Amino acid sequence: MKLPKYPLASSDKLQTFEFISEGKKGLIYKLVQYKQTNLKNIYNLAFGDKDHSTGEIDDTIISNNGDSEKVLSTVVGTIYAFTDKYPTAWIYATGSTKARTRLYRMGINKYLTVVVEDFEILGEKNDDWETFRKNIEYDGFLIRRKKKK
């Protein structure tokens, strides 16, 4: 994806990433974490704001820093980095609220042609999975990297 992204820092295992959002409200530290679920090789993707002074983390806060596209693009960058290290991992993502899930869906919609070159995406709907289609409301998403040919 050729969209602007923020520089990324990561833990050794590439399971926790950090970047700094720069916008109208100043600098906001963001943390992205890939945490294994109860099932092996299925990871939950979550991200939120980190209070740089207290270290406290909040994934419900609406930052309104005016850079949501750049933030989403940076999070997509972490998916590339994570799946480069863990190419067989499946990643589950959902928003902390319906509105946030909708924002993710819109992000996927917008860059779907680019994203599907490298990833397979399923949408969670009515307690089932279907191949991601544009303009359908989903409860969550499951992503995996396409095998390199």
Partner 1 sequence: MKIIKELKKRKVPIVKIEKSLNKYDDMILFPDKLEKANEMLRNVGLPKQWTKK
The residues of the shown chain that bind partner 1, judged by CB under 8 A, are 1-2, 5, 7-18, 31, 33, 35, 37-39, 42, 44, 46-48, 57, 59, 74, 77-78, 80-81, 84, 90, 92, 94, 96, 118, 120, 122, 124, 127-129, 131, 139-140, 142, 144
Q: Return the ∠ at Cα 75 (arms to 91 and 142), rounded to 5°.
A: 20
Of the pair 25, 146, the CB lying nearest partner 1 is at 146
Task: State CA 132 to chain mean position distance.
Answer: 16
Of the pair 38, 113, the CB lying nearest partner 1 is at 38
| Shortest spacing between CB 39 and partner 1, in angstroms | 6
H/E element, 91? strand 90-93
Q: How many CB atoms lie within 10 A of CB 93?
A: 21
Tokens of 147: 């095998």
Q: How many CB atoms lie within 10 A of CB 71?
A: 21
Of the pair 24, 149, the CB lying nearest partner 1 is at 149
| Shortest spacing between CB 25 and partner 1, in angstroms | 22
